[in-house]
Structure 1
Amino acid sequence: LGYDVKISYLDVAVMFSAVANGEADGSVAPWLPITQGAIFEQYKDSVVDLGPNLTGAQNGIAVPTYMDVDSIAELSDEAGQVITGIEPGAGITGLTEEAFEVYENLAGWTQKTSSTGAMTVELGQAIAKEEEIVFTGWTPHWMFERYDLKMLEDPENVMGAGETIVSLARIGLEEDMPEVYKVLDNFNWELEDMQSVMLEMSEGVAPEVAARNWIDANPDKVESWIE
């Protein structure tokens, strides 16, 4: 629409506070109600919640489809009883620690934390050798587009039944820039849409180019945001 947009990449807590204090106009990244719910509770009265822009997001513990296990409750001695995780402060990392407390069969299991990048590298290496790996997985993510993976069933519902990604706006944005506010409010897409963009980016395509490719391929959806 001709706006000069600045995108800032921030830690989760800083992302919420930036919208709440007006340093940022909005965000389309928060995961609710579980993953970032506790942080959202701190700021919910200082932001405008525009509702979901993507439904069907999910946190979980996942494995390649060649592994003969379908549920967290079935895990026994796979992958050396190690779950390959991501950053220590991530929401899914905390949920996995909770799973250790809830599932008796996970006694003796540990979570190896590092980074999202390191986890996906280990995942790719394990799949190339068809080795066992149990890892923290979530959708949308490009790894579910690139590899044959399955999310393990979670009968105790520790990881959450399903997440939404929501849009937030700063208080006053609707009055200051009504057109921008309307686009943020209208913005929505599907899990497969986001994963296709992420997959291109994981293969080295610049984010702006991957976004433009998706926009060019989905004119009707984009028109619904800006009509």
Structure 2
Amino acid sequence: MKKINYLFVITFVIILGVFNSCKNIKSSKYINIGMVDGWAEDVAMTHVVKAILDEQGYHIIIQKASTDMILASMNNEDTDLFLGVWLPYTHKTKIAKFPDLVDLGTNYDNGKIGLVIPDYVPVKSIEDLPKYEKQFKNRIIGIEKGAGMTSATDRAIIDYELNYRQINSSTIAMITELQNAIKRKEWIVVAAWQPHWMFGKMKLKFLDDPKKTFGEAEKIKTYSRKSFGKDHPELTRFFSKIYFDNKTMTDLLTKMEGSKDKETTAKEWVKDHPELVNSWLDKN
């Protein structure tokens, strides 16, 4: 009888442990961060956060997906965070679909999107594009379908009555085509944004946007799932304090560009910026 009672107690403890494990899974040290691969600033910031929090004893899991997939996953309480929400223009429509997601603050406040050309091309404004259809081959080289940048470019084609087609594939493909065109001194117009390392590697300029189709300066924000603050109050403050100024962001993107090991590069960057990192961690 004692043996039966002993086995019953063990079984009960195991079941209770499994139940508590499931119950507290959101409060564990495992943090899932969504990331859009190909977005230089999102990749860089996400890896820096991983480097910092790994040192604090957390286990950061980076989930690569599109913006739509990340936001939907956060809304389902599956993904914890996303550091790449551009507002008030680029992701306005996307974020409006998920009112329960929580804005944790601005991590960069000088973002810009628009149509970009090499500096040797003598065109100043989007309004001038109809004059140069032949030189640009009636094409605007875009990025991924479904991206906020892509939707804004489609609107620009309508607003400015352009006889141009947006060619969509990927961010990497856009950059490659831009680099190849510059090597040959060809005319090309692409859909692009700042901050991005390509502005440090190539001489580029934004076309004026008098109709403000692409909006003005944008903020890049960190968003979390609804219950994240309750599950991780200590991390909510950390993420709300993360902020990169222009100089810091440029330095980070320059170091990350071309790196074959993003995690190692991010760790090195963190070691080189102890004051900034400690201010985020409230250690100053």
How high is the TM-score relative to the length of structure 1? 0.91
From 112, 116, 127, the counterpart of 1:73: 127
User: 2 CA distance for matches of 1:65 and 1:183?
Assistant: 40
Do structure 1's residue 224 and structure 2's residue 276 form an aligned pair? no
1:30 corresponding residue in structure 2: 85
> Within 1, Cα distance between the matches of 2:275 and 2:128?
44
* Structure 1: gaps of 5 or more residues: none
Give the 3 Å change call, closer, same or farther, for CA 114–173 of structure 1 in structure 2: closer
For residues 259 and 212 of structure 2, the distance between their equivalents in structure 1, rounded to whole angstroms, comes to: 36
- Aligned residue pairs total 224
CA distance in 1, matches of 2:224, 2:145: 28
- 1:91 equivalent to 2:148? Answer yes
How much has 1:20 moved relative to structure 2? Answer: 2.0
CA RMSD of aligned residues (A): 1.7
Once the two structures are superposed, residues 115-161 of structure 1 have per-residue CA deviations (whole angstroms, 9 ceiling, x without a partner) of 11111111111111211111111111121121111111100000111
- Moved >4 Å (runs of 4+): none
Aligned twin of 1:17: 72
Choose from 166, 178, 192 the match for 2:233.
178
What does the per-residue CA deviation read over 1:140-195, in whole Å, with 9 as the maximum and x for residues that have no partner? 11211211111111000001112211111222322322222211111111244344
Match of 1:40 among 95, 101, 126: 95
Identity %: 33
Q: TM-score scaled by structure 2?
A: 0.74
Q: Report which of the two structures shows the higher radius of gyration computed on alpha carbons.
A: 2
Query: 2:112 corresponds to which letter in structure 1?
Result: Q
State which of 179, 200, 204 in structure 2 corresponds to 1:149.
Answer: 204
Q: Residues 29-82 of structure 1: CA distance to partner in whole angstroms, max 9, x if unpaired?
A: 1112221111111112x1221121111111100001111112111222132221
Consecutive unaligned residues in structure 2, runs of 5 or more: 1-55
What is the distance in 2 between the residues matched to 1:79 and 1:62? 12
Aligned partners of 1:213, 1:127: CA distance in 2, in Å? 32
1:130 correspondence with 2:185? yes
